Amino acid sequence: MKRIAFKMKLKPGCAKAYTERHDAIWPELLELLKAAGISEYSIFLDHETDTLFAFQNVSGTSGSQDLADNPVVQKWWAHMAELMETNDDLSPVSTPLQEVFYLALFKK
């Protein structure tokens, strides 16, 4: 299992709409993420800076960032573009983060 983390940026005042759109995430997008091997996907928001921190557990070598050519992903990007900083293709501006510490504690 591979862990991937990255950050993105919301436009000011868009946190509520961003959360609402994710609360109503499309079933076809969920299926696509699952098929890509993503077993966990969390997004956290720093309200002070409008910075999003995303984390994924992925089996295999790719994550959601590698689905750019999929029409469902492109439609989702267009749906979210007014809320986030985006690239010319409407993909979110995203910066990969380097893992510097990991600790797994399991109860038996």
Provide the CATH number for the domain around residue 19: 3.30.70.100
Is the residue at 108 inside a domain?
Answer: no
Which residue among 22, 82, 93, 95 is the active-site one?
22
Structural domain tally of the chain? 1
101 in a structural domain: no
* pLDDT score for 30: 95
Asked if residue 14 is part of any domain, the answer here is yes
Residue 84, helix vs strand vs coil: strand
Residue 79 structure tokens: 């749906």
> 95-96 and 2-9: which strand pairing?
antiparallel
Structural domain harbouring 16: 2-94
pLDDT per residue as tens digits for the range 29-81:
999 999 889 999 999 999 999 999 999 999 976 667 678 899 999 999 999 99
The answer to whether residue 106 sits within a structural domain is no
Is 79 in the active site? no
Asked, for residue 45, whether it belongs to a domain, the answer is yes
Specify burial of residue 51 (Cβ count, 10 A radius: 0-12, 13-18, 19+).
Answer: middle
Q: What is the pTM of this model?
A: 0.88
Whether 87 is in a domain gets the answer: yes
